[in-house]
Each structure stands twice: as C-alpha cells, then as structure tokens.
Amino acid sequence: MKLIDTDETVLIVTGTDIPAEMNDRPTAYQLKAEIDRQGGGRAFRLALVVSDSWYAEHRIFHLCPTVAVGGPGVNRVAAALAPELPVLYQRGESVFVQGSWDGERKRASLWGTDRDATREAVDTFVQGGLCGAFLARIWKN
C-alpha cells in the first residue's frame, strides 16, 4: 500500500529536541489539519508531520513538498533552508515566513524567535493565502 506520493504529499518537519517537540509540533499539527482540509479528502493530498531526524534519514522524501516549522536553532531543515529561501513575510526580527514554490522543489519555512512567534508565522502563512498558493502549485488540478 502506497502511503505517500512525493508529488502531492506535504511533509511538515519539526525539530527533534524536546523544546521543539513541545512547542512546535502542536503548531505543525494545526497546519497539517489545514492542509488536509484543503486537500478535500483526495488521496495523497494531505500532510504528514515528521521530525528533522526522520527527514534526514529518509532522503527519498526530500522530493516531497516540504514545510519546516520552527527556527533554524531547533530545526535542522529550517537551518538548511534559511539561507536559500526568500523571505515572503517578516515582522520585525521575530516572525519569518520564507518560501519558494515556483520551481521543481516546493519549500517553505515558518518560524519565529519563540513558540508564539512561530505560531504567528504559521497563522500568517495560512491566513495570508500563502498556504493556498503553495498548495495550488503542488496540486495543479
């Protein structure tokens, strides 16, 4: 049975350490619920929440559209994406939404300087229409 489609299934990656698990994973599951809702129940049009350690160990899944939740200090995927992704939204020096989904690799990084700022970055991604734009590029029909 196939559980993931590397073209349509979105991976949401959080940090592995206890603070990231406690602070960012619940926010990641809120984003997952929104992505699943927008997927409309269609096969593979959903999100899976995984740790940065799991993501590093399973390189085939780097083909999946990916959203990092949590900052570069707690999420190795966010740390790798930070220098390469353009900033799409920034509030001061505490809330950041980065992303690029025009090319073959679809990537976003949503983070802040603390738990509340990261939650604000995710909320901005969803409520500001960026999540919808990201998914429209992935799910073409």
pTM surpassing 0.85? yes
Q: Which domain holds residue 53?
A: 10-138
**pLDDT tens-digit map of 9-23:** 999 999 999 999 999
109, part of any domain? yes
* Bridge partners, residue 87, by sequence: 98
**Is 1 a domain residue?**
no
Number of structural domains (the chain) is 1
Domain assignment of residue 100, yes or no: yes
85 in a structural domain? yes
Residue 87: in which H helix or E strand, if any?
A: strand 87-91
Tokens of 73: 């200090």
Rounded Cα distance between 107 and 111, Å, is 13
Task: Report which residue type is found at 113.
Answer: T
Spatial CB neighbours of 2, under 8 Å, sequence gap ≥ 6 = none
Quick check: is 4 in a domain? no
What pLDDT digit, counting tens, does each position of 68-93 carry? 999 999 999 999 999 999 999 999 99
Contact 119, 69 (CB under 8 A): no
Residue 61 maps to which CATH number?
3.30.379
